[in-house]
Amino acid sequence: MHVPEIITGELTLRPIKDKDTAALFKLFSNDEVTRFMDIASFSNISEAAQIITLFRERQQEDEGFRMAITFTGRDELIGTCGFHKWSKVHYKAEIGYDLMPEYWGRGIMTTAIAALVAFGFKEMDLNRVEAFVDPVNTASAKLLQRIGFTQEGLLRDAFFEKGSFVDAHIYSLLKAEHAREQFWENS
């Protein structure tokens, strides 16, 4: 799947490039960023190069994609977002996202995820977008709720991360719900 740039006000979401390796290493080597992720913090820049290759492979195989979040006109990666576990058969995908801590609390991720979700429903023909959130990660839960996601339940010991089992709240947003929200926002 070809993934275009998505420009939304002050932000541009674009495919991740090789030139993003250093910024991606800075992002994923930060323990605050990877705290709730299923990967350990990076300790070598080669890990950033490897994950860029992985993102490209998943995109080429239509399994999903990851985009760089940048400020429009600055083109420096400050975070990433994208879809993985894309199931065309079931018209759904799982969303993932991360952001440099110095940009937390500014509404950047709300804008980025809202644009990404709209792209998923319109251009990828998704009917359902899912997210799995550690119950301790209240900031991520609030972000999803602001965009219109519904918490569906708790999956106990859903993932094995960093040496232990962790629970996960499952959130979803359906295309029909998103369309209703867009209608009311534009009325």
* Each residue's pLDDT tens digit, 114-173: 999 999 999 999 999 999 999 999 999 999 999 999 999 999 999 999 999 999 999 999
Joined tokens for residue 76? 């420096």
95, 164, 166 from 6: Cα distances, Å: 16, 37, 33
Q: Which SS3 state, helix, strand or coil, does residue 79 take? A: strand
Q: Is residue 181 predicted with pLDDT exceeding 80?
A: no
pLDDT at 3: 87
- Tell me the pLDDT of the chain averaged across its residues: 94
Could you tell me if 36 and 136 are in contact, meaning their C-beta atoms sit under 8 angstroms apart? yes
pTM of the model: 0.93
Q: What is the pLDDT of residue 70?
A: 98
Residue 187 has pLDDT above 50, yes or no: no
pLDDT tens readout for residues 26-36: 999 999 999 99
Three-state secondary structure of 113-171: HHHHHHHHHHHCCCCEEEEEECCCCHHHHHHHHHHCCEEEEEEEEEEEECCEEEEEEEE
CATH topology of domain 6-186: Aminopeptidase (3.40.630)
Give 10's DSSP letter. T
Span of 13-17, 102-106, 181-185 with lowest mean pLDDT = 181-185
Neighbouring residues of 118: CB distance < 8 A, sequence distance ≥ 6: 178, 182
- Burial (0-12, 13-18, 19+ Cβ within 10 Å), 178: buried
Binned at pLDDT 50, 70 and 90, residue 180 comes out as: confident
How do residues 53-75 score in pLDDT, each as one tens digit? 999 999 999 999 999 999 999 99
Q: What percent of the chain has pLDDT over 90?
A: 92
Residue 9 pLDDT? 87
Closest of 111, 79, 127, 132 to residue 6, by C-alpha = 111
